[in-house]
A and B are shown apart, each in its own frame.
Chain A
């Protein structure tokens, strides 16, 4: 296994004690737009969240939400967290998995000093999935369902830790939805061992009044693969932030995403992919489809360390603006210190191609259908990148549902 630096426990405990005793400390930590990494996303509204413990869950409401969001015919083990707490009565098929009890302050990747959002999570986390896939075991698929439901403002801070030992494999479907004006603040600490393969397909479909601030720290060892795709459709304001480290030679990371936004939503996909070893590969395709007055943000940095020769990094960021008042801000960034590398990024922003629309219409397809067809085509190649093909149909269906429900 690759080595993980351990945070000195006393420091973390001190931080947690201080923060739990005085949540205003946490609010004070929230970055402002003057911080470069938060230039395009304002947390002004998030600062109003009281960071109060989530109310006891309304079990039936949670069940109804799951039924609405989780395809009934989907034959998949599921671990359900309601309001940030593991809920065994709604979970199924977990016998086959190696799940340990949650211990606060576990893990050291999401360190408070690394990021204020990680700090808030570290201080307030009460539960999370602690999963280990043993060496050379293919654990198949698992759905991790996070439902937040309740009145008034509250926040949930699950802290998940997923470790794939050498040669292990897992396909994780990470579903997020709920009802209410909550803040969902999940943190993932992910370790992918030598030759291990993790697919992490996420659907964020939170309530339109909710906030969602997710952080993923993923370390990938030699010849390992972290294959992620994030489909963002919900929340008033959201950010999915990934810090992926290529810690062994020939490791591969995919940080792909699609953000489909309508109304006044704001969604931010931020990633830092660190090539810390030679011969690693990173791939990133991020698509934005923006309607109404929505605001999409993409910030993607590829960092190539001096020793990371033969790095192969590719980043593509495309935005489709379907409304006169929608807005995209995009910052694809290369920071490169090794000379024998192949890194490139591309970005395009624009409306639907009128020539293509005309071609479709001239073949008898009505304009709105033609638009739908081109939007789907725009998203197809991003979804097709997920290594676990079983996820494709699922995400395709989610996209169709989004297009159908948009006003």
Chain B
């Protein structure tokens, strides 16, 4: 039997058992009543003890959202979402007070342990978790967000000593209101698009990072998002500010339990880099994708945007997207500082009935700005994956450069892979190069690997990893290994 036929048949037998993060945590929750109204927003704001300006900002966003229509231009289709049929606030029950590991519900800690997210600082520092034969890993500071709220942030002390602020955004609102007020919504305005407006109205938590002038953040920062409760949406908001000459590497991971209904995740991420600052933002997105028949799964409608405001600043997005029933996200760079650099490295894997419409926008405003886009799309099963990307050179972008490479790989003949670049140039000295290819896994490569003793699954894994190499090598070590495993698992069952 030819490998591809086998592959196809294997896809059809794929069961939901491959999602290894689908367990549910039994924990007492406080949940806002279903539905969305100004009252819901007042409730959220009051629960979080927010200042008046933030409530006003939320309400303004809500009013804007009421006037907006959900976007229809993206490829994925889904039944209309009933925004009144979800909870907009869910919080693990806990005593009020400062967060420390001791106070965190042990059930929660066990959840993160199960997910492989290290929250025990001491254990990590002592190197206890280092398996034999592996090098001791650098500590990573983690902000763990469970449903709507941050449950714990590790290494806050160590970071504070370096001058870095890393905390839940709800804490930042209280402790650093001037920074939050100055930057919140400055990259993604409250009314930017339908889901960004929704997020602005109801966001509950997320991470806040501030790296002051000249500071290189001493460790990787990481946020781990987990949706657990039923019928809840997750609306986190992340804000990262990197001042002159500072740099930070930030990682984001996410999972959710297996459920039959769809859940909405509508996050907003804003990055700001001033002169010579550098932000590296890496995502491994593994929300529950739904089962083999396309039931359940997360609707992942996310707005991520970075502003390179300063000269020679740099923002680099790396994403490995394997989860979610529907993904709709375009991490973007506004290159406003002279000589600033934007990068987008993406691997998107879809299987079964998943749909992904993802890509980037590179808006070149200033002279000598540069951007690189490397997007790898892998479609299997009955899934549909679209790369959608915009490169725009504005009149002042003299000498700007863009290089784009989009490659799609199809596994089986029931899936789709699409490439939709928008290339707009208004400056004759700007140069844009774009390349795209679509192909299937080569029978020759498969046969070659198998004739050298590899199982078909291993061979496909090897080839897919090779196909994604240019992107995976951009991930921090911490994530690269996880991402590779994830690729293999996501395609599990799509081969022998």
> Residues of A at under 8 Å CB distance from B?
36, 306, 309, 319, 321-351
| Contact A306 B420, CB 8 Å, known A347-B433, A348-B432 | no
Interface residues as binary, B383-416 with A (CB distance below 8 Å gives 1, 0 otherwise): 0000000000101000000000000101111111
Does B429 lie at the interface of the complex (its beta carbon under 8 Å from any beta carbon of A)? yes
B362 to chain A, nearest CB (A): 13
Complex Cα–Cα for A61 and B158 (A): 85
Within 8 Å by CB of A347, from B410, B421, B430, B439, lies B421
Docked Cα-Cα span, A265 to B424, in Å, equals 17
In the complex, whether B426 has a CB less than 8 A from a CB of chain A is yes
Look across to chain B and name the residue whose beta carbon is closest to the beta carbon of A313. Answer: B438
Q: Would you give the shortest CB distance from B401 to chain A, in whole angstroms?
A: 9
Q: Of the candidates B411, B418, B430, B435, which one forms a contact with A336 in the assembled complex, judged by CB atoms under 8 Å apart?
A: B418
A345 to B419, Cβ gap below 8 A?
yes
Chain B residues close to A by CB (< 8 Å): 4, 73, 393, 395, 408, 410-440
- Complex Cα spacing A326 to B4, Å: 48
Known: A330-B423, A331-B422, A351-B429. A339 touches B415 (CB 8 A): yes
Do B424 and A329 touch across chains, with their CB atoms under 8 A apart?
A: yes
Q: Is the CB of B4 within 8 A of A349?
A: no
Output the least CB separation between A266 and chain B (Å). Answer: 14
Please list 11 pairs of residues, one from A and one from B, whose beta carbons are closer than 8 Å in the complex, sorted by A's number.
Answer: A323-B428, A332-B421, A333-B420, A333-B421, A334-B418, A336-B438, A339-B410, A339-B412, A342-B439, A343-B437, A349-B430
Contact (Cβ within 8 A) A347 B432:
yes
Known: A332-B421, A344-B436. A309 touches B413 (CB 8 A): yes
Let me know if B440 and A341 touch, CB within 8 A.
Answer: yes
Minimum CB–CB distance from A367 to chain B (whole Å) comes to 16
Would you call the interface of chain A mostly helix, strand, loop, or mixed? strand
Decide: B428 and A306 in contact? CB cutoff 8 A: no
Judge whether B424 and A328 touch: CB under 8 Å. yes
Contacts A334-B438, A343-B437, A344-B438; A306 near B413 (Cβ below 8 A): yes
Check B413 against A339 for contact (C-beta < 8 Å). yes
Contacts beyond the supplied A337-B413, A346-B435: 10 A-B pairs with Cβ under 8 Å: A323-B428, A326-B426, A327-B426, A329-B423, A329-B425, A330-B423, A334-B436, A336-B438, A344-B437, A345-B419
Residue of A nearest to B393 (CB): A349
Is the beta-carbon distance between B436 and A349 smaller than 8 angstroms?
Answer: no
A351 x B438 contact (CB < 8 A): no
Tell me whether A347 and B411 are in contact in the complex, defined as CB-CB below 8 angstroms, given that A323-B428, A339-B440 are known contacts: no
Cα–Cα, bound, A329→B416 (Å): 26
A-side contacts of B423, CB under 8 Å: 328-332, 347, 349
Verify A335–B416 contact, CB threshold 8 A. Answer: yes
Please tell me if the beta carbons of A329 and B410 are within 8 angstroms of each other in the complex: no
A319 touches B438 (CB 8 A): no
B418 contacts A348, C-beta separation under 8 Å? no
**Which chain B residues lie closer than 8 Å to A323 at the CB level?**
428
B434 to chain A: which residues have CB within 8 Å? Answer: 332, 345-348
Q: How far is the CB of A343 from chain B (nearest CB, A)?
A: 4
Q: Are B432 and A346 in contact (CB under 8 A)?
A: no
Q: Which 7 A-B pairs have the closest CB atoms?
A: A321-B428, A339-B410, A347-B434, A350-B431, A330-B423, A349-B432, A334-B419
Q: How far is the CA of A39 from the CA of B420 in the complex (A)?
A: 14
Point out the residues of chain B lying under 8 angstroms from A327, CB to CB: 424-426
Bound: A327/B418 CA distance, A? 26
Contacts of B430 in A (CB 8 A): 349-350
Min CB gap B373→A, angstroms = 12
**A321 and B419 in contact (CB under 8 A), knowing A336-B410, A340-B413?**
no
- A332: B residues at CB distance < 8 A: 419, 421, 423, 434, 436
Q: For A333, what are the chain B residues with a Cβ–Cβ distance below 8 Å?
A: 418-421
Residues of B within 8 A of A330 (CB): 421-424
Collect the chain A residues with CB atoms within 8 Å of residue B410's CB: 336, 338-339, 341
B residues near A345, Cβ cutoff 8 Å: 419, 434-436
Docked Cα-Cα span, A66 to B431, in Å, equals 40
Given contacts A306-B414, A334-B438, contact A324 B428 (CB under 8 A): yes
* Residues of chain A contacted by B420 (CB below 8 angstroms): 331, 333-334
Do B435 and A331 touch across chains, with their CB atoms under 8 A apart? no
Inter-subunit contact A341/B439 (CB<8 Å): yes
The answer on a CB contact under 8 Å between A337 and B432 is no
Across the interface, do A331 and B421 meet the contact criterion of CB distance under 8 Å? Answer: yes
Q: Tell me the bound Cα distance from A330 to B389 in angstroms.
A: 12
Contact B408 A336 (CB under 8 A): yes
A325 and B436 alpha carbons, distance in the complex (Å): 28
Contact at A350–B432, with CB atoms within 8 Å?
Answer: yes
Chain B residues near A335: list those with CB within 8 A: 416, 418
Partner of B438, one of A309, A328, A331, A343: A343
Contact B425 A321 (CB under 8 A): yes
Chain A positions within 8 Å of B439 at CB level? 341-343
A351-B432 Cα distance, complex, nearest whole Å: 10
Q: Which residues of A contact B432 (CB under 8 A)?
A: 347-350
Chain B residues positioned under 8 Å from A309 (CB to CB): 413
B424 proximity list for chain A (CB < 8 A): 327-330
Please indicate the chain B residues that have their CB under 8 angstroms from the CB of A344 in the complex: 435-438
Bound-state Cα–Cα, A348 to B405, Å: 12
When the two chains form their complex, are residues A349 and B425 in contact, meaning their CB atoms are under 8 A apart?
yes
Tell me the minimal C-beta distance from B424 to chain A in angstroms: 5
CA A323 – CA B418 in complex, angstroms? Answer: 33
